[in-house]
Structure 1
Amino acid sequence: MKDVTIVICNYNYERFITQAIDSALGQDYPATRVVVIDDGSTDGSRSIIASYGSRIKSVFKENGGQVSAYNTAVEIVETDYAILLDSDDLLYPTAVSEVMRAFNAGDYTKVQFRLDVIGSEGELTGTHVPHSEPPADCGSLLRRGWLYPSPPASGNAYRVSALREIFPVPQSSVNRYGADFYAIYGVALLGPVATISKSLGAYRVHNASAPSVSFANSESLTKAPKALNMRWATLKQIARSRLNVELPASFHDFSHEKAHFCSGVYNAPLAARWHWMTRESHGYLHSIVANPFWGVKKKVGTLVLSSLCLLPYAPLSDYAVRYIANPLARRRVAAR
């Protein structure tokens, strides 16, 4: 039986860290190790982590951001496989067993699985991420600039040797976060990716009670596109210097273009919506029409919903944007 490490990276999440650690310790796969890296927390996290004693390996470091924590994780992991679990998320008991079953079935660099979306109190929201699945050879599409559908950080298990081809990632004042971007997309350049089409864990969304156009917990809509462009440029440098792979200058990603779409039309006057849709929507429309991971039905549905932004009735336009941007908004409509 091959050993697997669940690495939990934590910063000031004393409210959730116990549940994350317990979910890692509760795996039904006997050869599971648990490492917790605390990135300079100033709340009560460190005392909670220390209370687990020898049941886990604890690493207490100065605050350096998520990239720094991932660099440390990849350096110290002693097993051939690892899951990098965010400290506000959790894994279901069979997660490692099912991941290792997938790894043993092929020469994969990454195995990804769905995550149920939960609210801040752990309540199920009725939706999951991601909603699309990539082909095993998504690396070939990545080389053409297409970012493939992937769950957030906690829904990915990696071959550690592949991670070490990508990490350490350069650290700087502007590159402290988004470390999972480099892991998720970097390892796909090194081999095939397997997808498990069931939920093996939960992704916590802290604004679930009042869903708007913002779904993820990271950057705001205005900051996200700039951050993603910077990460792509960094990954491009890593791919060229370490892997001898030349990535294109720009990338294609619906989530990225969706942020531009929301910023341009949400809560905007009719004239501004028309201006954006007719003058600035090329990248957004291309990410729908040419999307290699979507079927015709999904493409047509998204185009129809997007066109509602051209109607003069603002509440309908804003509803369409929320529906496109945030899976939680869709579930609320369905529950009525």
Structure 2
Amino acid sequence: MLKAQPLLSVIITCYNYETYIDECIQSVLSQDYDNLEVIVVDDGSTDGSWSKIQAYGDRITAIRGVNSGPLKACRSALSRAHGSFLYFLDADDALGEGALKEIEPYLRPDVSKIQFMLLPVDKDGKPMGNPFPSLHKSSNSNELIQSIRQKGYYNTPPTSGNVYRRDVYDGLGEMTYERAIDGVPYLLAPFVGTVVSIDHPLGRYRIHNANLSSFSDISSKRMKGYVDRFMGRLHHLAELVEARCASAANVDVRDDYAYVTELNTMSLIVDGKRPSVRQISAHIGAVVRENTGIKRVALCLFAIGLFVLPNAVAKRLAALRVDPSRGRRMRSRLKYVLSLA
């Protein structure tokens, strides 16, 4: 007797993505996976997105609400989902052909998360870079837990590159610090099961004018917002691990992660201030503690550059760090993309 496929709930959130929503939904409905529930949430779009969503009839569950942001839209859909596994897919992204068939063997009770690489594409769906993030094939959560304890994070794709076991999302409570649905679940997943990493792309991540504009602000306010969310997730994680993972050691949250010290340093630079020797030394110490090899050297040189370079140059260096698309390689690709707009 064939083993029944677990029910997989695919949740698509859409806000003014009329241009991409058809491709996104079709990429899911065309998958070779039968036990599928597709929930599409229109977050108060003002374009033609809702009409396109409605055209799918009973092939999907369509929900429309007032614009409240991606977190609330996802949580609204989550309350309607019945699957034992969840996949949150952004409406401007898409699944690759055969993706769910490849994921199917890992939809097991012991697996808490499946993560896979994504192929960046332009607004017309043409590849515009290498698949990311760099993942090696693995089913070892211990390495990820070690990375969280050391750095406060582990290497993971954006939302559209992750499938979660349903219970990872149970009992999360309020996330007032958060903007995304999977900010703390991705950290919790290694503590409550096996995280499987797939070392090649199974989906497409769209880069276009709308999401590129999110990188245009390099203000200190934005950087402090990043720090607040980063620390909020870790404090929330510590509470969840203590409550749900009796066999795991508690998560000790620090205030000197390299991610935090770097953003705090760049925040000063952006405001026209100079970091002190003590601040730079603390940042370099965090970089050395958390990294090895070439990455350690590169990040240390970057920190020294922030300290010794004139403020105008240091600010441009910080902008490059916050927005890699400002780099020469990405700039040529983005010039092509924007020329098509």
Shorter-chain TM-score: which interval? 0.7 to 0.9
Aligned counterpart for 1:80 among listed residues 73, 81, 84 = 84
Higher alpha-carbon deviation: 175-184 or 229-238? 229-238
Report what 1:280 is aligned to: 279
Q: Secondary structure at the match of 1:115?
A: strand
Cα deviation, residue 261, structure 1: 3.9
Q: Is the 8 A contact 1:127 1:328 kept in 2?
A: no
**Distance 1:229-1:121 versus aligned 2 partners, 3 A rule:** farther
Q: Secondary structure at the match of 2:164?
A: strand
User: Is 1:158 matched with 2:150?
Assistant: no
After TM superposition, the structure 1 = structure 2 runs for residues 102-117 of structure 1, keeping only pairs within 5 Å, are 102-103=106-107, 107-117=110-120
User: Is 1:139 matched with 2:138?
Assistant: no
Q: Secondary structure at the match of 2:223?
A: coil
Higher alpha-carbon deviation: 140-149 or 311-320? 311-320
CA deviation string 1:74-95 (max 9, x = no partner): 3332222221111222221222
Cα deviation, residue 289, structure 1: 1.8
Cα deviation, residue 73, structure 1: 3.4
Cα deviation, residue 298, structure 1: 1.7
Report what 1:302 is aligned to: 299
Cα deviation, residue 324, structure 1: 3.8
Higher alpha-carbon deviation: 282-291 or 88-97? 282-291
Distance 1:308 1:210 in 2: 27
Q: Is the 8 A contact 2:169 2:185 kept in 1?
A: yes
User: Is 1:97 matched with 2:96?
Assistant: no
Q: Is the 8 A contact 1:214 1:221 kept in 2?
A: no
Distance 1:122 1:221 in 2: 31
Report what 2:288 is aligned to: 289
Distance 1:79 1:235 in 2: 24
Report what 1:11 is aligned to: 15
Q: Secondary structure at the match of 1:116?
A: strand
Distance 2:68 2:213 in 1: 31
After TM superposition, the structure 1 = structure 2 runs for residues 65-76 of structure 1, keeping only pairs within 5 Å, are 65-76=69-80
Distance 2:184 2:72 in 1: 12
Cα deviation, residue 15, structure 1: 3.3
Report what 2:329 is aligned to: 332
Distance 1:206 1:239 in 2: 37
Distance 2:198 2:316 in 1: 32
**Distance 1:17-1:259 versus aligned 2 partners, 3 A rule:** farther
Cα deviation, residue 227, structure 1: 3.1
Report what 1:232 is aligned to: 234
Q: Which amino acid aligns with 1:185?
A: L
Higher alpha-carbon deviation: 127-136 or 52-61? 127-136
Report what 1:50 is aligned to: 54
Q: Secondary structure at the match of 1:290?
A: helix
User: Is 1:148 matched with 2:140?
Assistant: no
What is the TM-score with the length of structure 2 in the denominator?
0.77
After TM superposition, the structure 1 = structure 2 runs for residues 184-199 of structure 1, keeping only pairs within 5 Å, are 184-199=186-201
User: Is 1:38 matched with 2:42?
Assistant: yes
Cα deviation, residue 318, structure 1: 5.2
Report what 2:32 is aligned to: 28
Cα deviation, residue 109, structure 1: 0.7
Distance 1:185 1:101 in 2: 23
CA deviation string 1:78-119 (max 9, x = no partner): 222221111222221222222223445x93211111122334
Distance 2:150 2:322 in 1: 25
In structure 1, the gaps of 5 or more residues are: none
User: Is 1:265 matched with 2:256?
Assistant: no
Sequence identity (%): 24
Report what 2:174 is aligned to: 170
In structure 2, the gaps of 5 or more residues are: 334-341
Between the two proteins, the alignment pairs up a number of residues equal to: 321
Distance 1:119 1:220 in 2: 25
Q: Which amino acid aligns with 1:44?
A: G
Cα deviation, residue 69, structure 1: 2.8
**Distance 1:308-1:141 versus aligned 2 partners, 3 A rule:** closer
Report what 2:336 is aligned to: none
